[in-house]
Structure 1
Amino acid sequence: MNEHEVINATRHWVEDVVVGYNLCPFAKRELVKDRVRFVVTGAATEEALLQALQDELLHLQEAPEVETTLLIHPGVLQDFGAYNEFLDVADGLLVFLDLEGVFQVASFHPDYQFAGTGPESAENYTNRSPFPMLHLLRESSLEAAIDNYPDVDGIPDRNIELMERLGADKMRAVLAGCFRSGGDD
């Protein structure tokens, strides 16, 4: 897939899954305001991905008009175990750049699996995405959104309940549907 197709599939996922199922009640506002940056990296190694992550963190620091970045990396860390281990490296980069507490990295992957769940558990679809990606969030914005949202602690349980109600088969189909192409894309 080319960069345009990767971004379209990811945008459909954000619209249809993240916003459509209200998995993140804070996402719609930023998507509508066009403050979500979609970036595809051609990184084929973890080192190249780490450099792309650093570049995006520094870009986010210099671009207050961008609220959040989805750094999509289809060419590296396809294996969820390796991806999960890389998250510690990403957090280490935040410390190295003295950006811990300024930004945080959230994780989404096509094979996302929460500890203690089976690979086909429906609840894993709360964090399953079309491609491996790192979601870069501004801590201050996240804190403000949390402060203004009732029962933020209940979001994960509601999301798990919704995924279990819809079922893994349904969510697998919804995720596959993100790869559709349309004339308005």
Structure 2
Amino acid sequence: MTTHLSVHDIEQETTQWLEQVVIGLNLCPFAAKPQRNKQIKIEVCEGTDDQTVMDCLLAELTLLDTSDAAELETTLVVTPNIFQDFDDYNQFLDVADMLVDQFGWRGIYQIASFHPNYCFADVEPEDESNLTNRSPYPVFHLIREASIEKAFKYYGGNAEDIPQININRVCGLSETEKKTLFPYLFRATPHR
């Protein structure tokens, strides 16, 4: 199933999620500064097959590798036309990780995962904790490991506590707040 929205609309919806959910709820305490400094790239990959997504991920990882972090800190590769099924997306993550290994980028870059139907292992799909990783579209977040290490040095809390803090935060949202922050989860006919 492919989306009928324009690339611009997909970028806007992803930016809104980034600003209102990821940054607004402080799910990633390190995202506000790069967003403010326009160092986060949102790349919409319109492909409908694995190879096209692999090519897009490779291109974006190469761009990160040849760019200064002061110019490009991180990239969100959004795939609106493929991986609607979370299990398919999750299996493809292994392939994406192999790409990181193949090019010798292990320890330099990592891929974080977000999906409209994200489900943690050993958690029911309807569990509210999954909201921490639910995005409007399937997203592969390409992250510089050096930036994470640098951010942790300045982080005031314990980094290991972040996942539980995030779960508590999303589980504490009212139904109205959830519908406002995650409107794509409440559509009668999702476009994903």
Fold shared by both chains (TM-score > 0.5): yes
Unmatched 5+ stretches in structure 1: 179-185
Select 1:148's aligned residue among 149, 154, 159: 154
Q: What is the distance in 2 between the residues matched to 1:63 and 1:39?
A: 15
2:182 partner SS: helix
Deviations 1:95-154 (A, max 9, x none): 001111111000000000011111111110100000001000001011111122121111
Q: Look up the match of 1:54.
A: 58
Q: What is the distance in 2 between the residues matched to 1:131 and 1:169?
A: 21
Residues 8 and 80 (structure 1), Cα distance of their counterparts in 2 relative to 1, 3 Å cut: same
1:125 aligns with 2:128: no
8 Å CA contact 1:46–1:77 kept in 2: the answer is no
Deviations 1:43-97 (A, max 9, x none): 1001110111001100111111100000001011111001001111111000001
Q: What is the distance in 2 between the residues matched to 1:84 and 1:147?
A: 30
Q: What is the distance in 2 between the residues matched to 1:74 and 1:62?
A: 26
Select 1:42's aligned residue among 37, 41, 46: 46
8 Å CA contact 1:122–1:168 kept in 2: the answer is no
Q: What is the distance in 2 between the residues matched to 1:94 and 1:177?
A: 31
Amino acid at match of 1:148: Y
Amino acid at match of 1:60: L
Q: What is the distance in 1 between the residues matched to 2:133 and 2:165?
A: 14
Select 2:101's aligned residue among 95, 100, 103: 95
Q: What is the distance in 2 between the residues matched to 1:58 and 1:12?
A: 26
Q: What is the distance in 2 between the residues matched to 1:58 and 1:71?
A: 13
Q: What is the distance in 2 between the residues matched to 1:61 and 1:168?
A: 41
Amino acid at match of 2:10: V
4+ runs deviating over 6 angstroms:
none
Residues 169 and 120 (structure 1), Cα distance of their counterparts in 2 relative to 1, 3 Å cut: farther
Select 1:68's aligned residue among 69, 74, 84: 74
Deviations 1:5-36 (A, max 9, x none): 00000000000000100000000000000000
Amino acid at match of 1:136: L
Taking only the aligned residue pairs, the percentage that are identical comes to: 38
1:27 aligns with 2:34: no
Query: Could you state the TM-score of these two structures normalised by the residue count of structure 2?
Result: 0.89
What is the aligned residue count? 178
Q: Look up the match of 2:188.
A: none
Q: Look up the match of 1:78.
A: 84
Q: CA shift at 1:2, angstroms?
A: 0.4
